[in-house]
Amino acid sequence: MKKLFCFLSAGLLIACADMDYDISDGRLDREITLFEEEISVPIGSIGPITLGSLLLDSSIGQILGDYIQEDARDGSYVLKSESTLFAANVYQLERETDDVEAPFTWEPGSVSGSVEGMAPLLGLLGLSTLNQQLEIVVTNPLRDVVPVRATVGILCLDADYSLSYMASEEASASLRRGSGRYNSLYSTELPAEVGDVVSSVTLTDLALDLPAHPADRIYDPLTSDIFEFRLNHSCRIGFSERFSLTQTVSVDDIGLEIGKYKLRRCEASVEIENTLPLSVTVRSVKALKRGENGYWVPDDNLTVTPGLTVAGGSTLSPGLSQLHLQVAAAEGAVPDIDRLEIELEASVPPECVGVPVTARQGLFVKSSFARIRGGVTIPEN
C-alpha cells in the first residue's frame, strides 16, 4: 500500500508541473490498471457435485433410482432384490404322495432360479456388482418343526456369457413352526473380486422331512398352506472399465464478484477435490446470466475455456486437481459470475475399478478463493 501511495503521489506531482498531464479537459484516461500478476478474490458457496447429481439425475439414475437404497452406515448405494426359487402347496404334495400314514421325506428334486430386479442389468449400464450377498429363506406353514436340506449351487456369467464364478455347498435347517415366518436355510457373501452378478442359484437333492398327513398339520389354512423358498440378493455398486457418462450440471451460488474490476479477460484458478472413483473431464463451461424472462441463460458475451481433467479418487484417497478457467468478454468487461453450466465427461481409471460408490462422494471446491489474473482496472470514482 505504501508503494501504491508513492506511485500515485509521484504521478500527481508530474501532472501539476506539465500541462500535457492536465486532466481537466478529459484527455487523460482516469483509470489505472493494477495487480496484473495475480489477486485473490473470495468465491461464494459452491456446493459439491455429488454422485447424486452426477449419476442419479442422469438417464442411468432414472433407471436405477427406484431400486437403489442408501446404506445409513457409510452412504454406499445398495441394490436389493427378492425372488421365489420354489413354492409347494401342502395339499398338492400330499395328494401326489403315495403313503402319508407315517412321517415321510418329500424329495421334489432339483429347483433353480435367478436374481431378479435391476442387478442383472448393471453390466449393460457399465456398472458392476460388488460385495454380493445371497440368502435363501423358507416358510413353514405346519405346526411341526420341519428339517430341510439341499446342495446349493451358485453360477456367475460374464458379459460374454462365459462362466466367471461357481460355488457349491451343503445347507440344512430346521424350519420353525407357524406360517409367515422366514427361516434362513443358507447365506453367503461372494468373494470381493466377483464383479459379475449371480446368474443362477440351484437347489439339488432338496428334501423335507414331513409329519404324517401334513395337510392336517397346517398352522392356519387361512394364512398360508405353502412351503416357499425365497432368494434374497443384495450388492453394492461400482463402476466397470466400460462405464462412461456425459452429464451437464449447474453450479450455483458461485458469487465471484469481479464485475467491479472491469476485466476484459482473466483466469480463475480453484483447487478441486474429487472423491468419486471417476476421472472427470470438463468438456465445456458456460457462464449464465438472468434472461429477460427471469430464467438463467448462457451469457453469449463471455467465453470460458476449460483446461482440466480431474483425477479419480476415493473417500480415503481423494484426487486433487487445479481448475483453470480462462474467461474473456467479447464486448465490455467481465461481469460478476453467479452460476456456471458445466458439461462433464466421466470415465473410470484402472485403479478405480471395483471401488464401491457412495452418496457422499463428489467434486468439492477445496479452496475458498479464486486466484484472478489479467489485470484489475480501477474506475475513476
Which pLDDT belongs to residue 308? 75
Query: Is-contact 97 104, C-beta < 8 A?
Result: yes
- In this prediction, residue 213 carries a pLDDT of 96
State the pLDDT at residue 6. Answer: 37
Question: What's the rounded Cα separation, in Å, for the pair 59 and 280?
Answer: 18
pLDDT for the residue 35: 47
Q: Which domains does the chain have, with CATH numbers?
A: 29-47+252-378 (no CATH), 77-237 (2.60.120)
- C-alpha to C-alpha distance for 315 and 84, rounded to whole angstroms: 37
pLDDT on residue 307: 60
pLDDT tens per residue, range 166-183:
999 999 999 998 766 799
Rounded-to-integer distance, Cα 284 and Cα 345, Å: 10
What's residue 155's pLDDT?
96
Residues of the chain with pLDDT under 70: 1-39, 43-48, 51-66, 179-180, 306-307, 367-381
Question: What's the pLDDT score for residue 87?
Answer: 95
DSSP characters over 18-74: -GGG--TTS-S---EEE--S-EEEE------EEHIIIIITSHHHHHHTTTEEE-TTT
Rounded CA-CA distance 354/356 in Å is 6
Question: What pTM value is reported for the model?
Answer: 0.70
Residue 303's beta-bridge partner residues? 328
Q: Which residues contact 40 (CB under 8 A, 6 or more apart)?
A: 369, 370, 371, 372
Question: Is residue 217 classed as helix, strand or coil in its secondary structure?
Answer: helix
Strands lying side by side in the sheet with 104-113: 104-113, 198-210, 146-157, 163-175
Closest CA to 350 of 196, 215, 242: 242
Strand ranges (E), 90-243: 104-113, 127-139, 146-157, 163-175, 182-189, 198-210, 226-239
C-beta neighbour count of 202 within 10 angstroms? 18
The full DSSP string for 84-109 is EEEEEEHHHHHHT-S--SS-EEEEEE
The whole-number pLDDT of residue 107 equals 94
As a whole number of angstroms, the distance between CA 231 and CA 182 comes to 11
Grid coordinates in use for 36?
Answer: 496484473
Burial class (CB in 10 A: 0-12, 13-18, 19+), 307: exposed
In the block, cell 500515485 appears at 8
What mean pLDDT, rounded, does the chain reach? 80
